[in-house]
Amino acid sequence: MSKNARILVTGAGGFIGHHLVKRLRTEGNWVRGVDLKAPEYEATDANEFEILDLRHFDHALLAGRGGIDQVYNLAADMGGIGFITAKHAEIARNNILINAHMLEASRLQSVKRFLFSSSACVYAQSKQNDADVTPLREEDAYPADPEPGYGWEKLYTEQLCSYYRQDYRFETRVVRFHNVYGPLGTYEGGREKAPAAICRKVALARNHGCIEIW
C-alpha cells in the first residue's frame, strides 16, 4: 500500500471496507469512504465519508473526483450464502452496475491503480463437492462453474478488469476474499456470514437450549 496517497474506498460502510480505511489512514493516506450506509458499530476514520449509490454513473464520477490516486472497489450487494442464493438477479444486476461504473469512472478520472474485490465464489463448484478437497489454485476458476448470480458477476468483473488493462493500459488488480469475518462484522439481519450467525445464536440461547445451525 502507498503512503501519502489520495485513496477512495467504496463499500467503506461495510466490514472489510471499514477496517481497510483504518489501515490506510494509519499509513498516512488521505481517504474518502463511500457507501450506501455508514459503518454500523463505530465512526469511520475516513477524511471524508459520503453516502452515494454507485449503481448510478454520476455517483461513481462524484465518488472519484478530486485527484484520487487509487481506488479500492469493495462496494457490493452481498451477504452470507443464504442471502446470495436467494437473490441471483438482484445481486448480479446491482454489482455489475457498481463495478462497471467504478471502472469507467476511475479510468476517465485518471486513477493510477484500481483494486477489485472478488470472491471465492468464482471457483468452480465441481471442484468443491468433496469434503476432502485439495487447496484451490488461482486457475481453478476455469473452466467456469462459479456460484450462480454472485459468483458469475464476480468472475465477469475479473475479466472486465483484464479488458481495461489490455485496452486502456489501466492498472487493475484483483483479490479473491474467502468467508471474511471478525470484529465489527454484521451478525444479524440475514447478511451475516455463518460463523457470526452461529456465535449470535449461541450467545442468545437459553441454558441447555438448542440452536438451529442451518
Domain parsing of the chain, residue ranges: 6-186
pLDDT computed for residue 69 by the predictor: 98
Predicted confidence band of residue 2 (pLDDT cuts 50, 70, 90): low
| List 72, 123, 150, 156, catalytic entry | 150
Predicted confidence band of residue 84 (pLDDT cuts 50, 70, 90): confident
Q: For 95-105, how does the pLDDT look when each residue is reduced to its tens digit (9 = 90+)?
A: 999 999 999 99
Task: Please name the fold of domain 6-186.
Answer: Rossmann fold (3.40.50)
pLDDT computed for residue 189 by the predictor: 67
Average pLDDT of the residues in 144-148: 93
Q: Is 72 in the active site?
A: no
For residues 166 and 130, the model is more confident at: 166
Cβ proximity of 148 and 184 under 8 Å: no
Please determine, for residue 58, whether its predicted confidence score (pLDDT) is greater than 90. yes
C-alpha to C-alpha distance for 113 and 179, rounded to whole angstroms: 25
